[in-house]
Amino acid sequence: MVEISQGASAIDERHAVGPSQSRKPRRGVVVRVERRWPRPVILGCQFGILAGILLLWEIGARVGRVDPFFWSQPSAIWSAGVVFVTRWSALYDTWFTVSSTLIGFVVGTAGGAAIGLSFWWSRNMAEIFEPYVIVFNAVPKLAFAPLIILIFGIGIASKIALSIALTIVISILAAYSGVKAVDEDLVRMMYALGGRKYQIFFKAVVPSVLPWVISSMRINIGLALAGTIVGEFVSSKYGLGKLIMYAGSTYDMSLIWVGIIVLSIVAVLMYGAVSRLERVLLRGVHASAS
């Protein structure tokens, strides 16, 4: 009886120990996850930084610390922006740049994807043309801008051609990388089951390559815009690039900043739209595959 009572008292003492004392110490690395701030707080910090930069810029220009001739000042930029948006030519310049960029983006992405996919159809053709694609990718395409302007003129065609030149190579390389990553066992199994080459191409190769092409769209939209702006820099009647070049030739720094700000807004909107389209397309590809 004495032994039983002693054992019971030992059990009671063991249960009397607190949870923190009874647990074994953790082993390994403990990763501390930072608590994410609410979205309004993030946006408030972002706008606060921008407002602080503009305020310091304006104060520096008024007290003489910043030369307004070379850097302008936010108040003058605002006045030039109000004049810019009230003109009909401003809307047309913006639309000229946006339309050239979108057409070049769509044609370059789709054309490059088609060429890259065709490399699966004939491996011999892929080996023949692969060095040319690599060389064309390595050469700065913007160096062809004067030549393209001379061939296609100063209208919208030359801006589209430059956008296509910058985007098509990225799409070719992305599609060709997807072609190389196609599951060979799946292709052999489809051949063994009696599948024809075109059936394997559309049912196995194209769905496998699409995520590669879609993932390159965010890069292509920036390159398409860069090609359009460079074409407008070289020679153009319309466009935001032409506006910036005109303002630079007349030393109108406020108008230069207006063009840069409008161009930045256009770039952000197009990038956001393409990112949204990319998520939708990838979700559809994954759903169809599953």
Q: Which residues have C-beta within 8 Å of that of residue 81, sequence separation ≥ 6?
A: 258, 261
pLDDT of residue 279: 84
Per-residue pLDDT of 22-63, as tens digits, reads: 455 556 565 677 788 898 999 999 999 999 999 999 999 999
pLDDT of residue 199: 85
pLDDT of residue 86: 86
pLDDT of residue 25: 55
Instruction: Give the HSE-up count for residue 285: Cα atoms under 13 Å, Cβ half-sphere.
Output: 19
Check: CB of residue 261 under 8 Å from CB of residue 81.
yes
Its pTM stands at: 0.80
Architecture of domain 72-289: Orthogonal Bundle (1.10)
Check: CB of residue 252 under 8 Å from CB of residue 207.
no
pLDDT of residue 2: 43
Q: What are phi and psi of 112, to 5 degrees?
A: -65, -40
Q: Residue ranges of the domains in the chain?
A: 72-289
**Which long-range CB contacts under 8 A does 188-191 form with residues at least 24 apart?**
none
Which portions of the chain are predicted below pLDDT 50? 1-8, 10-11, 13-20, 22
